[in-house]
């Protein structure tokens, strides 16, 4: 049986151990500071005698250290030097205890159970057994959790042998083991059976921040950050807010109002632009109709395709003739008619758009060209095909 030092001293970063079994890439040791994955928390990384550890997991009560593939040089009975990646471990400890505290607060203040925890590389999540949370509940839970941090409450670990002994404690969750029970308690805040490493007092968690909630299988999934993760997140968001504030000549507190105002201004400009486009399209369609023979054709220097489409649409409201419209700006040609002109627009594009690409239906087709010359040549070919040069 491996002595699990990480359960007694969460702060030991290096130690020596003896190899009990070395099999392939896997090692079983007589003692270890490497915590395996447990209850949603990932395993420790680090090295054993200089060989990188890629995974640590518990199998049949044994802690199995998986080494980098093909690198194991240790044999049964060898002495091994263990060193964990402390930054990763402490980050896990901060976020894990943060989750204990948030869960304890949601339970004691709102009587909501935590049904599942996962600690990812970027953020932690847990699932609360309630369909939704109000913003007020989130803020209150966050405040209470951070107050527990500010009070620097010592974290107690109590080893118990039977469920009867454990029943003396106000456990937040039902026990999942019958013996060798480790109860982790933050007095007045949380009490739960857990065998992961935790900081020795709550102040080491640093900031606890809920960064989002989402609906998940009838429950509410809470996304949170603690400690250095929360600091890095604040730093990044501060950069974003500061840059936006400068762009909008605002500060962090007036930024939203300024963005809202700018949005309203944009909406007004967009509406005005649409009205102008419609008016332009009406005029262009009127002019096309006046100059048209069997069909109408127009080549425009600055009109974009949105303008061209609106013009075509307006023209088709006025006439059944086919219309050929080209945008020099976008090197694109639109062929269209309202349905009774007997021209197959898609077929014309396929047969005549040399150098261009595009297609469409009988009543509407579009072709894009690499240069203006090939586009204008296509327009001429379509005109010739219509047998009605203008």
- Please count the residues of this chain forming the interface with Zn ion, following the rule CB under 5 A: 2
Residue with tokens 């928390």: 41
**Residue 35 is encoded by which pair of tokens?**
């915590």
Query: What is 333-376 written as a DSSP string?
Result: EEEE--S-S---HHHHHHHH-TT-EEEE-SSEEEEE-SSHHHHH
Whole-number Å distance between alpha carbons of 357 and 359: 7
State the nearest-atom distance from the C-beta of 99 to Zn ion, in Å: 8
Shortest Å, Cβ 248 to Zn ion: 43
Both structure tokens of 144 = 């209470």
The two tokens of residue 175 are 């026990």
3-state secondary structure of 53: strand
| Binding residues for Zn ion restricted to 86-125, rule: CB under 5 A | none
Q: How far is the CB of 97 from Zn ion (least distance, A)?
A: 7
Residue ranges in 5-44 that form contacts with Zn ion under rule CB under 5 A: none
Q: How far is the CB of 45 from Zn ion (least distance, A)?
A: 19
Does 296 interact with Zn ion (rule: CB under 5 A)?
Answer: no
Nearer CB in complex with Zn ion: 99/123: 99
- Nearer to Zn ion by Cβ, of 195 and 207: the residue is 195
CB-nearest residue to Zn ion: 194
| Smallest gap from residue 102 Cβ to Zn ion (A) | 12
The DSSP code for 134 is -
Return the SS3 of 327.
strand
Most distant CA pair in the chain: distance in Å? Answer: 100
Query: For residues 63 and 36, is the Cβ–Cβ distance under 8 A?
Result: yes
Nearer to Zn ion, 149 or 365 (CB): 149
Closer residue to Zn ion in complex, CB, 172/331? 172
- Provide, for the chain, the percentages of residues in helix, strand and coil under a 3-state DSSP scheme, each rounded to the nearest 5: 40, 30, 35
Q: What is the rounded CA–CA span in Å between residue 350 and residue 353? A: 6
Residues 173-212 contacting Zn ion, CB under 5 A: 194, 196
Cβ nearer to Zn ion, comparing 80 with 155: 155
Q: How far is the CB of 76 from Zn ion (least distance, A)?
A: 33
Minimum distance between the CB of residue 199 and Zn ion, rounded to whole angstroms? 11
Nearer to Zn ion, 64 or 93 (CB): 93
Give the number of other Cβ atoms within 10 Å of residue 29's Cβ: 26
Residue 4 or 331: the one with the smaller Cβ distance to Zn ion is 4
The binding site for Zn ion (CB under 5 A) comprises 194, 196
């Amino acid at each position: 049986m491996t002595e699990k030092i990480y359960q007694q001293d969460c702060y030991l970063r290096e130690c020596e151990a003896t190899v009990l079994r070395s099999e392939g890439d896997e090692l079983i040791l007589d003692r270890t500071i490497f915590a395996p994955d447990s209850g949603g928390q990932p395993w420790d990384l680090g090295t054993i005698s200089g060989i990188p550890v890629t995974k640590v997991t518990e199998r049949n009560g044994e802690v199995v250290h998986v080494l980098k593939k093909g690198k194991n040089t240790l044999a049964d009975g060898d002495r091994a030097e263990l060193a964990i990646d402390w930054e990763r471990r402490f980050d896990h400890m901060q976020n894990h205890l943060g989750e204990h505290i948030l869960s304890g607060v949601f339970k004691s203040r709102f009587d909501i159970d935590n049904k599942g925890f996962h600690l990812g590389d970027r953020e932690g999540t847990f699932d609360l057994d309630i369909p939704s949370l109000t913003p007020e509940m989130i803020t209150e839970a966050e405040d209470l959790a951070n107050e527990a941090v500010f009070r620097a409450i010592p974290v107690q670990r109590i080893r118990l042998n039977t469920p009867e002994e454990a029943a003396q404690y106000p456990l937040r969750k039902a026990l999942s083991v019958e013996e060798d029970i480790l109860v982790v308690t933050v007095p007045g805040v949380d009490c739960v059976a857990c065998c992961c490493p935790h900081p020795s007092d709550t102040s080491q968690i640093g900031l606890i921040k809920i960064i989002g909630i989402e609906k998940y299988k009838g429950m509410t999934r809470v996304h949170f950050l603690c400690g250095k993760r929360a600091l890095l997140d604040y730093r990044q968001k501060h950069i974003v807010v500061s840059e936006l504030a400068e762009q909008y000549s605002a500060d962090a507190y007036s930024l939203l109002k300024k963005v809202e105002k700018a949005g309203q201004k944009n909406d007004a400009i967009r509406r005005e632009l649409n009205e102008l486009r419609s008016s332009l399209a009406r005029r262009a369609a009127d002019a096309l109709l006046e100059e048209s023979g069997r069909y109408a054709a127009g080549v425009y220097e600055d009109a974009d395709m949105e303008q061209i489409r609106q013009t075509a649409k307006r023209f088709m409201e006025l006439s059944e003739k086919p219309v050929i419209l080209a945008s020099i700006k976008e090197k694109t040609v639109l062929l269209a008619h309202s349905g009774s002109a007997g021209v197959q627009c898609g077929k014309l594009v396929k047969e005549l758009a040399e150098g261009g690409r595009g297609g469409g239906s009988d009543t509407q087709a579009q072709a894009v060209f690499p240069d203006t010359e090939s586009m204008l040549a296509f327009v001429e070919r379509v005109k010739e095909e219509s047998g009605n040069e203008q």
